[in-house]
Chain A
Amino acid sequence: MAVTEDVTGQPDAAPTTTAPAIGLTGISKAFGPVQANKDISMTVQRGTIHGIVGENGAGKSTLMSILYGFYKADKGEIKIGGVPTIIHNSDDAIRAGIGMVHQHFMLVQNFTVLENVVLGAEDGALLRPSLAKARDILTSLAKDYELEVDPDAIVGDLAVGLQQRVEILKALYRQADILILDEPTGVLTPSEADHLFRILEGLKAQGKTIILITHKLREIMAITDTVSVMRRGEMTATVKTAETSPAQLAELMVGRRVLLKIEKAPAQVGETVMEIRDLRVVDEDGVERLKSINMDLKRGEILGVAGVAGNGQSALLEVLGGIAAATSGTVTMNGEAMDLTHEADAGKRRDRRIAHVPEDRHKLGLIMPYSAWENACFGYHDRSEYQAKAGLLNRLFMRDDARAKIEKYDVRPPNCDLKAANFSGGNQQKIVIAREIESNPDVLLVGQPTRGVDIGAIEFIHNQIVALRDQGKAILLVSVELEEILALSDRIIVMFDGKISGERLPSETDENDLGLLMAGIDPKANQ
């Protein structure tokens, strides 16, 4: 290993090389009435990559937070390298050789990379020697593991992929032998994710033990040696990755068979609801985000919009949803022109029965500190059914209404007084979807309906969208997940650089074909 400096506070009993890196026995943890972890036992062998999969809220992060000393387990025993270890806080975990890369990076944004790495692991009261030493070690770590980062860069200026490297460097600087990564690829681009996996392979080759928490089965299959599955706070299985399949893992995660393919009846396409003609958007910086878009949206069909993020799909949703103004062009709905100026707003769109599930549910879809029952009717709270006398809102009805939505959409936990922030991502999305679909729209705009949502909830959300289509409504689905586009859409358009680069029927296309269109190349154009 490159780092040779002695670090105090390693466990007294030297761990034997044959003992498993981590042994958990009977770990339980409850938050109030919620049993986050139930009697969990797990063994991770030294020098392996061990995956932990499970739906959102299955207890993966809680378990790892216990291992890292962020929470204290109610019961159970932790052995590190065969030695029983009591971990009261993160300091104990660090001393035991555990490093963690949190889902939300634990970095000080306005510090340099060096300062972040050194924080908490300084050698003395003065900074200068520590920083100099860290600089040397960082240089050698960068060489050994492809972990190049400019040590003097301000962390806040770095891309997320680089910030994640800083987190890994922090752990390695503290001589971690066990590295826990919590949903590491959620924020990464595909190429950044590939780079991360190369780094992890390199670390494994050096004998480090890696725990990878994720709900992406593809990553599990690609990189792990063994995988543990968690469901509702329990560990349901631990298997060798080579001996399992994504379908089996999905079933273990959800507890029932999951249809990775959606069953839907052929679309009964009706007349055109919305006509978009020559729609252009030029943003404040003078960049043309939409270049003359023409399309029709018809009753009873799901129109999928594919494309690499940032090719105009968001601008399209924003204009149609009344959030942003168009520069020129027309949109008519049922033959009537729509206001595309700054005068328009999302409320007026809703009055015209256009519902919108925004791409970023945290920013636009929900008010996080507000309760579920409030969030379940926001945007529609002016409707007559929510009104009581004297200009007041009918809270009782609003709560009943929210309870009905929660039940119908299987939002967990089924508690309409909980703040939106306290639901898992999938359940937050269900609240938004429930609100928009139950408003009985003619047109539903959906952006990234299943981003950050676990498998069980994805299936549910997809079924709801199909059900709405079968009621004869028009749906515009924007997603960067090709699988989702292919599975749901009745017709697909692909956007590239603010233009429509092609239109396909799902039966006539595949991921390769769409992938080329997403890069602006139409393979069928020259035929």
Chain B
Amino acid sequence: MDLAELYQLLGTTLRLATPLLFACLAGLFSERAGIFDIGLEGKMLAAAFASAAVGAYAGLPPLADPFPGQLSGWGLGWPAALLAVLAGIGASVLMALLHGFASITLRGNQLISGVAINFLAAGATVLIGVTLFNLGGQTPNLPDVSRFKEITLPLAETLRGIPLVGPFYADVISGQNLLVYVGLATVPLTWWILFRTRFGLRLRAVGENPGAVDTAGINVARQRYAAVILCGVLCGLGGCYLSMATAAAGFGDEMTAGRGFIALAALIFAKWRPWYALSACLLFGLLEAISAKYQSLDIGLFEIPVQFMQALPYILTVVILAGFVGKAIPPKAGGVPYVKER
């Protein structure tokens, strides 16, 4: 493998890791506050659909006389992408609030609520999709205004001449879409919020010992809702990424393909810490990139079949969730609804 090939692989890694990263950090906020969330998948799916649907309407040009099955949009230009992202975040936050209502206000079982959200999203996206677009659950291909395209960072070509670092900057760092950079920036931001702000202190406390927070005169439910909403926003971005920033350029049935669960595995792998979350997501991204690039891998003795390569990220998920990666101590009050004694 030469350097160009390696950089290409790393670039793909970054692209594939980004939706995982959004979902993983989303889960981090929620679970650090004591609300377990296996509904990351559903929230991303809902966001992917909502952003694709709104992106299609807002971005496609208006047609005076559309033939059957062709969508006549509003032709909004650049605000289309913004509107689409807002719609995606909105849909995801709505789902998050549902999860919050079930698990905080009604003190329900968080796992069951999460499963319900996944089913709801899987069913509702297709149902609404078929009703609106009549394309078998897909949305129309998004026009460029409703998509995130690669951005070439300044000086990318100028610096290419520097050995090793230059091409790395030009091929891996530069040339990604906006959401990749947003995702990367979210990591230090999350760390800073959690460990350097009052909000973060209370959020972590509420996931460890809500009784301590309550007796300190802080509203436990409000704090947990705030975390759940943040989780919704980040999941929303992850969903938008899938439909607006990948080659899919639109929504497809079940397009999250288990990424919400892989993100959950990454979160456990990362022991609920932001920087570790980045590493974990990059690792999963790398595996996915390898399986996409090398359909089948010849390692001399025998050839690893393509199916195995494709299954690799999922196999690793299982391995991690089975607890092979050291002891991960989840937030102590995680999964437990807060009830005052008696």
Contact = CB atoms under 8 A, between A and B. Distances in A.
A118 to B, nearest CB: 7
B201 interface: yes
A107 B213 CA distance: 9
Interface string A166-186: 000010000000000000000
Given A111-B208, A119-B205, A120-B213, A128 B332 contact: no
Interface string B190-224: 00000111111110110011011111111100000
Interface stretch (A86-94, A236-244, A377-385): A86-94
Interface in A113-137: 115-116, 118-122, 124-128, 130
A438 to B, nearest CB: 30
B342 A107 contact: no
B198 A126 contact: yes
Contacts of A170: 216
B340 interface: yes
A181 to B, nearest CB: 14
B208 A110 contact: yes
A116 B198 contact: no
Interface residues of B, number: 24
Contacts of B195: 127
Interface in A58-94: 68, 70-71, 89-94
B197 to A, nearest CB: 6
Contacts of B208: 108-111
A7 B204 CA distance: 25
B212 A90 contact: no
B199 A125 contact: yes
A144 B191 CA distance: 37
A170 B212 CA distance: 11
A307 to B, nearest CB: 34
A126 B193 CA distance: 9
Contacts of B205: 108, 111, 119
Nearest to A89: B217
Contacts of B204: 108, 111
Contacts of B340: 70-71
A12 B169 CA distance: 62
A106 interface: yes
B205 to A, nearest CB: 5
Nearest to A120: B216
B197 A119 contact: no
Nearest to B332: A109
Residue of B195, B208, B209 with most partner-chain A CB within 10 A = B209
Which of A70, A93, A106, A120 counts the most chain B CB atoms within 10 A? Answer: A120
Interface string A1-43: 0000000000000000000000000000001000000000000
A106 B213 CA distance: 8
Contacts of B212: 106-108, 116, 119
Given A71-B340, A107-B209, A119-B205, A90 B198 contact: no
Contacts of B197: 125-127
A130 B215 contact: no
Contact of A124 (B198, B200, B213, B342): B198
Report which residue of B216, B219, B340 has the largest number of chain A beta carbons within 10 angstroms of its beta carbon: B216
B202 A120 contact: yes
A119 B332 contact: no
Nearest to A34: B342
B24 to A, nearest CB: 21
B196 A126 contact: yes
B200 to A, nearest CB: 8
A106 B205 CA distance: 11
Interface in B298-342: 332, 340, 342
A122 B219 CA distance: 15
B217 A127 contact: no
A324 interface: no
A102 interface: yes
B214 A119 contact: no
B209 A108 contact: yes
A284 B212 CA distance: 36
Contacts of A126: 196-198
A115 B332 CA distance: 17
Nearest to A121: B216
A127 B197 CA distance: 5
Contacts of A461: none
A70 B339 CA distance: 11
A44 interface: no
A31 B201 contact: no
Contacts of A118: 201
A170 B209 CA distance: 15
Contacts of A433: none
A68 B216 CA distance: 10
B218 A91 contact: yes
A457 interface: no
Contacts of A68: 215
Contacts of A108: 204-205, 208-209, 212
A100 interface: yes
B191 to A, nearest CB: 13
Contacts of B200: 127
Contacts of B332: 109-110
Interface string B18-49: 00000000000000000000000000000000
Contacts of A120: 202, 213, 216-218
B198 A102 contact: no
B342 A119 contact: no
A127 B215 contact: no
A71 B339 CA distance: 12
A106 B217 contact: no
A185 to B, nearest CB: 20
A108 B198 CA distance: 15
B196 A128 contact: yes
Which of A92, A119, A130: most chain B Cβ within 10 A? A119
B196 A106 contact: no
Interface of A: 31, 68, 70-71, 89-95, 100, 102, 104, 106-111, 115-116, 118-122, 124-128, 130, 170
Given A94-B216, A120-B213, 12 more contacts: A90-B215, A90-B217, A92-B217, A102-B215, A107-B209, A110-B208, A118-B201, A119-B201, A119-B218, A127-B196, A127-B197, A127-B201
15 contacts: A31-B342, A68-B215, A70-B340, A90-B217, A91-B218, A102-B211, A106-B216, A107-B212, A115-B201, A116-B212, A119-B205, A119-B212, A122-B198, A124-B198, A127-B200
Q: Which 9 pairs across A and B sit closest by C-beta, in order of nearness? A: A120-B216, A91-B217, A106-B212, A122-B198, A106-B215, A90-B217, A108-B208, A108-B205, A108-B209
